[in-house]
A and B are shown apart, each in its own frame.
Chain A
């Protein structure tokens, strides 16, 4: 069975650039660019949802790629 792959999306319209998502990501999937979070290494995502659950702005969504 292939390892699950995850899609990480940042909604820049709702993001307030607090930096919590970048700090909580255990795999450095997320990084900062010009003060805003950016998905740098999506393939490293393990789907722990720490970024999604700690985003105060509902601005990060993580979804398993094969799920609908």
Chain B
């Protein structure tokens, strides 16, 4: 029996390279399920990635895909969207790719409100290069480059993108696979810059060093620390400590979208030159 989403996969490329119990396959499946339920035209959907474990995903996907350089998935995606605004562009990135080397691109794409859907597979670590800390590694946790614990404060990616002007910001986890799929659907439908932070377990390089060795331990950690956004708003600051909200955190509709604004500018400029 074939997998129900197999038509979206380059099946000959599987099994994928991700470790046993890695959350990235769960997030990838959530994206494909969202695409399937929205009945997107795969001929008009492009998936772009940068570098890292997460960025291997497009290699398994039967769409037009682009595996680009480290941190630069969003600039490539911007180029695709501006060249052909008819296309739906989904960016698959990781926390290192999006928040460290590509951090500047992330905030400026959010500021422009360009119609991209960025799915950040956040495993809070550089998995591909054996577990260096990233800008979102939680304080106190261990990494190969933080053997005594992470001393830097971390980014809250959703707050960062919302502050930079992103018009759709949401967070989900691999434990909450069905709600994550729904969030991704909403993000894809949103016209403007949409950002989904998908918390995804890395049992090999994060869990192993942080007493969450089994994939299931990390999923249960998400279950025990995530709070639905409507519930989150009712909590006191003390109750919020150590927890995080999931769901749609920001949504602004009808904000000017960059590729559309730019097309209008081109039309105005043409009118003037012809006058």
- Which A residues have a C-beta under 8 Å from some C-beta of B? 7, 9, 11, 13-14, 16-20, 23, 49-50, 52-61, 63
Contact = CB atoms under 8 A, between A and B. Distances in A.
A57 B16 contact: yes
Q: Interface size for chain B: under 10, 10 to 19, 20 to 34, or 35 or more residues?
A: 20 to 34
B77 interface: no
Contacts of A13: 15
A65 to B, nearest CB: 11
B23 interface: yes
Contacts of A50: 177
B118 interface: no
A57 B15 contact: yes
Given A13-B15, A18-B215, A58 B22 contact: no
A41 B181 CA distance: 28
Contacts of A54: 26, 174, 177, 219
A55 to B, nearest CB: 7
B2 interface: yes
A7 B1 contact: yes
**10 A-B pairs with least C-beta separation:** A56-B25, A18-B21, A16-B20, A9-B1, A53-B177, A18-B20, A14-B15, A61-B3, A58-B3, A61-B1
